[in-house]
Amino acid sequence: AQSVTQPDIHITVSEGASLELRCNYSYGATPYLFWYVQSPGQGLQLLLKYFSGDTLVQGIKGFEAEFKRSQSSFNLRKPSVHWSDAAEYFCAVAESNFGNEKLTFGTGTRLTIIP
């Protein structure tokens, strides 16, 4: 069965600083990978996804992520964070077996932005 590890429970960065959130996955086949963001009281919003092709994917709100098969990683990056980026971030992998795209999520990384 697939699994996702987000090793950082909580990260604090200064506004304007760069950000990298780590994600490692375990899945036998080619994974479908996602990053979601969850703000308090809000549902999960998709930031970006990777299925195939270019390993560097661009998403909304200035985020990008790079798929590295050799490291089983899909880290999320942003060159300059804004106070509005404070939220919980979840990495997820889709099980594509028989066309069921149920998602397996990591435990999340809470991002705090300091002025």
Partner 1 sequence: DTGVSQDPRHKITKRGQNVTFRCDPISEHNRLYWYRQTLGQGPEFLTYFQNEAQLEKSRLLSDRFSAERPKGSFSTLEIQRTEQGDSAMYLCASSNRLSSSYEQYFGPGTRLTVT
Q: Which residues bind partner 1 (CB under 8 A)?
A: 4, 32, 36, 41-46, 49, 51, 90, 92, 94, 96, 99-108
Minimum Å gap between C-beta 74 and partner 1 is 14
Strand-pairing partners, residue 73, are 24, 68
- CB closer to partner 1 out of 17 and 60: 60
Minimum Å gap between C-beta 17 and partner 1 is 25
Whether residue 106 contacts residue 38, with contact meaning beta carbons closer than 8 Å, is answered with: no
Strand-pairing partners, residue 107, are none
Whether residue 115 contacts residue 15, with contact meaning beta carbons closer than 8 Å, is answered with: yes
Cβ atoms within 10 Å, residue 8: 15
- CB closer to partner 1 out of 46 and 114: 46
Q: Which amino acid is at 49?
A: K
- CB closer to partner 1 out of 19 and 32: 32
